[in-house]
Amino acid sequence: MAAFPDIPKIQYEGPESKNPLAFRWYNPDEVVAGKTMREHFRFTVVYWHTFRGTGSDPFGAATLQRPWDDGTESVDNACNRARAAFELFEKLDAPFYAFHDRDVAPEGQTLAESHSNLDAVAKVLKEEQKRSGVGLLWGTANLFSNPRYMHGAATSCNVEVYAYAAAQVKKAIEVTKELGGENYVFWGGREGYQCLYNTDMKRELDHLAQFFHMAVDHAKSIGFTGQFLIEPKPKEPTKHQYDSDVAACVNFLRAYDLTDSFKLNLETNHATLAGHEMLHELEAAGSQGFLGSIDANTGDLLLGWDTDQFATNYYLTTQIMLALLKYGLSPGGVNFDAKVRRESFEPVDLFYAHIGSMDAFARGLRVATAIREEGALSSVVTERYKSWDGDLGKKIETGKCSFAELEKLMLEKGEASANTSGRQELLENIVNRYLDKR
């Protein structure tokens, strides 16, 4: 039985379309900047929000209607849900999905039972992948929901909880490999602290690094070649998450000799919670060679938590696409780590949400491509740094200069040459001009 019987396969109808179940900007087979749109985005639907979200919040119970779900934590229900999920992926023409182990299969009474539940559902996932051609962008383990993880997992003060987490990740990597997953993600879950009075920060960070080294070793031993990704987030659920932002993650990876095996999965709402724009995080990661994948969503700047909304703002998607065109994304993707609001309780709302955000990204791609092709921003940047293109700049940039030489030069000159305008307002107007265009 179809889960979404009234919803057709979503088609591209062009910008003038008023059909809410059609794409206006996302045309999967259209080539833009040398690649099809499908290849640019590698759009990914998340299992946890889209198929496990209930709409409950700290003030109220579940609201979301999901007729295919019988509400039980059984393996049968999990298998039915998986079939419903693939119907949505196919109707949206989304080439990938992503999951946590506990999203797709119920946790058992013992670790062994949880493993076998996961294997049973993975069988259905594998069949559905084969049938539909939808692939797994990444897998991950949920190391935060079960109460055993109250003090964290890989940073827990309880060594057996650490061991349990390792066992769970080992299995999740194996299942990800079995399903052809292209990446494996570590979001920090509860790896952080609520209170420094009870926390040995150095020891926790050392443990976390050992955990990652063991994950790398295990991946090698089973021949899993997917990319490992860390997902920065500054707070929530802990007061301070260790992977707080790109700078903190890159520092951690360098300090613990993990740079060969890890890149970063950047999420818009996490960037803004850290007090950064997404573009800042993309530049910080991309310029250091750590940009792996993105969790595409948006927050609400008036709310201080991870609201995980679908991104529809063209400025945001244009900025993201400017960075993705500059640094590239594969084997990552544009992963909709976003949820419908609890008031949007009907199944069709899942379609409106994804279609709108896919379109916003496609529009962003078109605008960013035009900006780049015409060099509208890059020519200004080149011009702005042109003083560095002379002999002096070269000498400094290649490490062949000293303070003494620079002092000598400036003593001779007496004053630096005049500055030029930064032209920020003009550039903001130029970006608007590209946004006006079709």
**Lookup: tokens for 301:** 């700047």
Nearer to Ni ion (CB atom), residue 91 or residue 339: 339
Q: Which of 91, 233, 263, 363 binds ligand XLS (CB under 6 A)?
A: 233
Residue 30 DSSP SS3:
coil
Q: Sketch the per residue contact string, 268 through 297, with ligand XLS: x for CB under 6 A, - otherwise.
A: ---------------------------x--
Report which residue's Cβ sits closest to ligand XLS: 187
Q: Distance between CA 298 and CA 153 in Å, rounded?
A: 27
Nearer to Ni ion (CB atom), residue 128 or residue 337: 337
Q: Are 187 and 196 in contact (CB under 8 A)?
A: no
Q: Sketch the per residue contact string, 281 through 310, with Ni ion: x for CB under 5 A, - otherwise.
A: --------------x----------x----
Rounded alpha-carbon distances, angstroms, from residue 393 to 57, 193, 284? 56, 45, 23
Nearer to ligand XLS (CB atom), residue 162 or residue 187: 187
Is residue 267 at the binding interface for Ni ion, with CB under 5 A as the rule? yes
Q: Phi-psi bin for 189: left (phi > 0), alpha (psi -120 to 50), beta?
A: left
Q: Distance between CA 2 and CA 68 in Å, rounded?
A: 9
Residue 103 annotated among the catalytic residues of the structure: yes
Selected catalytic residue, list 40, 49, 100, 270: 100
Backbone angles phi, psi at 58, to 5 degrees: -60, -10
Q: Are 344 and 63 in contact (CB under 8 A)?
A: no
Smallest gap from residue 255 Cβ to Ni ion (A):
24
Nearer to ligand XLS (CB atom), residue 168 or residue 369: 168
Among Ni ion, ligand XLS, none, what does residue 140 contact (CB within 5–8 Å per kind)? Answer: ligand XLS
**Pairing state between β 240-241 and 192-193:** antiparallel
Q: Give residues 392-421 in contact with ligand XLS (rule: CB under 6 A).
A: none
Q: In terms of Cα–Cα distance, which of 138, 95, 135, 141 is closest to 118?
A: 141
Q: Distance between CA 84 and CA 228 in Å, rounded?
A: 28
Nearer to ligand XLS (CB atom), residue 264 or residue 368: 264
Residue 354 annotated among the catalytic residues of the structure: no
Smallest gap from residue 337 Cβ to Ni ion (A):
4
Nearer to ligand XLS (CB atom), residue 86 or residue 187: 187
Q: Which of 191, 204, 243, 337 binds ligand XLS (CB under 6 A)?
A: 337
Among Ni ion, ligand XLS, none, what does residue 319 contact (CB within 5–8 Å per kind)? Answer: none
Q: Give residues 300-359 in contact with Ni ion (rule: CB under 5 A).
A: 306, 337
Give the contacts of 4 (CB within 8 A, at least 6 positions apart).
84, 87, 88, 91, 347, 348, 351
**Which helix or strand (DSSP H or E) is residue 91 part of?**
helix 75-92
| Burial of 57 from C-beta contacts in 10 A (0-12 / 13-18 / 19+) | exposed
Among ligand XLS, Ni ion, none, what does residue 191 contact (CB within 5–8 Å per kind)? Answer: none
List residues binding Ni ion (CB under 5 A). 267, 295, 306, 337
Q: Which residues are catalytic?
A: 100, 103
List residues binding ligand XLS (CB under 6 A). 100, 140, 185, 187, 231, 233, 267, 295, 306, 337
